[in-house]
Structure 1
């Protein structure tokens, strides 16, 4: 291994690469990781010199607070390579701002901007061969912060670790999915951490989602905790509903994640003359539209999947099938977003970030 320093980042390069053993045509999402990872520790009330090292297991004390009190936040980002070999990210400033917003909600220290962007840039440059060209191919980036203080007293940690790991990715969902509308379980509640990308938010979804999967559904459309009437998110994604030719999505709140893909879809829809209505939408309204034939589409939107179309939903044991339509909003908007991300179309909003 060769060690050197770049702009305050200590770098240890891997002596060998795992890349030749990877089948990039048959990737399981989030299972394969690149040769290097980024690490920066928060100690003595300050972030220390960051490091890039070979990807490897790490040792932690069993009493680390992340294991006991769940102080953990993360982000989901992607990097793309165009036909000329240029690497791009998509709206990384938004991810940087959101991880710090999430950290603040969990009483964790915010991470310095220069370390974030310098770390990601250098990591992508070092593992650039893992980013494959071609529309739909990407490198998924997972920045995260965990509490590492070895103490089990119920209070915020004094020490933290910020890391970035990378995983090559293809399409997350390749076909339409069926969803169950939540009648009992909730993803988040007023005054909680639903707006943050807190690890515990996702852990709490696993059990009700497993129950839905046993019934033949892939995901759940979450409803509000108070009435289970307002439609809020779908699985781990923001959710959109097309009634007639209007695209409807719930407004962000302390229960709903301010998704980067969500914001991008809203803007792209408006750019292309699609009416967007950001407002609460209820289960009753959705079922009424389905019965009347005015409900045309439902789709989830998030970094991993980009857009995932929904073929049917069930509520109170009544199944509602959605029509198959040509030139769907889901397909049209996904194609336009992918074209921007892969440098195949004009980026008039300045979303692309060149590495």
Structure 2
């Protein structure tokens, strides 16, 4: 941390009750900031008291949407150590998003060091209750005051932290999902593979309508043929069909999920047949009719695994595994969360320990 300027917050907050934590509602005492100026590059890394930003009304992020983000977590083991899960993958993906949005690349090793430095300062905020963690939100947005459609010449990289409770308060329960038949999330050549704010803004309307219909999530189809499975909300999708696990291939409009990648590693290690390919909603429906659709689940940082108990497509309702979590989904969830909290051996070298 010698190169990172540190400003102590003199008004520390009271730590929240771990049993009452909600996702993304509570924030720690400090945040990390880093400026970019054209001709100077990224400069002035600093950890400062958490607080509001002051931005010019003409800041380009407000008008042209140059904003990208990441999401990862820190976990406390039973021995009291604090660990990050695969932060190097977040660093790599951040730069994929940067490239697509014409935002200057950030040194990936520096990204990991910045995350580690902030978490080390705020390590007392990492909860120890089972199922809890410290959510980490790095993000970059354009700050140059200018009304003109072009890439900004100034940016701010920030990291904020939020202690979060168990995603499932009473265990994992399969959710009902609506297959979106009107709106489109992304197309190849667009920004679907980038983790950019606009992707999520454009998904809100369909999400609201799905919730009105009693569904927890939206399953997006491809934007060209409106036929092939893409993502569920902020998660990648997996289906177990006749003993084989299938997930949509990364086609330029799907986010390369880090949990997705972790699941693929585990399945291959376990010898479970798995493929990344195009998969149509018609194929899923036919497999359901034939009794071959054994499991379906989403993967993402927040929930790790979100099992699907029911899919609704047009006038068809597909009940999966009698609406219960599948054996494979449960095994994946137990393994990944076990690696994260240190109760399962990390044979892949995924964890990074804070303070080492």
In 2, Cα distance between the equivalents of 1:29 and 1:198?
20
Q: Contact 2:295 / 2:326 at 8 angstroms: preserved in 1? A: no
Structure 1 window deviating more from structure 2 (76-85 vs 271-280): it is 271-280
Q: Is the 8 A contact 1:19 1:130 kept in 2?
A: no
Distance 1:291 1:307, change over 3 A: same
* CA deviations over 1:209-228 (Å, ceiling 9, x no partner): 11111111111111001111
Say whether residues 1:283 and 2:281 are aligned partners. Answer: yes
**Which deviations, in whole Å up to 9, do the C-alpha atoms of 1:233-267 show, x marking residues without a partner?**
11110000111221110111210111100010011
The reply on whether 1:31 has 2:25 as its aligned counterpart is: yes
Instruction: Name the residue aligned to 2:264.
Output: 266
Aligned equivalent of 2:318: 320
Alignment check: 8 A CA contact 2:31 2:47 kept: yes
Q: How many residues of Structure 1 are paired with residues of Structure 2 in the alignment?
A: 349
Question: What residue number does 2:208 align with?
Answer: 210
1:123 to 113, 118, 127: 118
How far, CA to CA, are the matches of 2:78 and 2:66 in structure 1? 40
- Give the equivalent residue in structure 2 for 1:52: 47
- State the match for 1:93 in structure 2: 88
Shift of 1:88: 0.7
Name which of structure 1's ranges 105-114 and 27-36 shifts more when overlaid on structure 2. 105-114
Contact 2:135 2:162 in 1 (8 A): yes
Shift of 1:182: 1.5
Matched, 1:41 2:25: no
Q: Which moved more, 1:342-351 or 1:160-169?
A: 342-351
Alpha-carbon separation, structure 2, partners of 1:134 and 1:88: 15
Q: Which residue of 1 aligns with 2:166?
A: 171
Contact residue 173 and residue 308 of structure 1 kept, 8 A: no
Match runs of 1:325-340 below 5 Å = 328-340=327-339
Partners of 2:182 and 2:168 lie apart in 1 by 26
Q: Which residue of 1 aligns with 2:70?
A: 75
8 Å CA contact 1:82–1:133 kept in 2: the answer is yes
Aligned to 1:297: 295
| Alpha-carbon offset, residue 26 of structure 1 | 1.5
Q: 1:150 aligns with which of 145, 153, 163?
A: 145
RMSD of aligned residue pairs (Cα, Å): 1.4
| 1:247 counterpart residue number | 245
> How big is the shift at 1:134?
4.0
Aligned to 1:7: 2
**Unmatched segments (≥5 aa) in structure 2:** none
Deviation at 1:60, TM superposition (A): 0.6
Distance 1:47 1:261, change over 3 A: same
Unaligned runs of 5+ in 1: 1-5
Distance 2:167 2:225 in 1: 32
> Which is worse superposed, 319-328 or 173-182?
319-328
Deviation at 1:274, TM superposition (A): 1.6
Q: What corresponds to 2:134 in structure 1?
A: 139
Q: CA deviation at 1:341?
A: 0.8
Task: Show the counterpart of 1:3.
Answer: none
**CA contact under 8 A between 2:228 and 2:280: conserved in structure 1?**
yes
Instruction: Give, in whole Å, the separation in 2 of the partners of 1:328 and 1:185.
Output: 33
Does structure 1 retain, via aligned residues, the 8 Å contact 2:37–2:154? yes
Contact kept, 8 Å, 2:174 with 2:325, in 1: the verdict is no
- Map of 1:106 onto structure 2: 101
Equivalent-residue separation in structure 2 for 1:327 and 1:219 (angstroms):
19
Q: TM-score, normalised by structure 2?
A: 0.95
Bigger shift: 131-140 or 221-230? 131-140
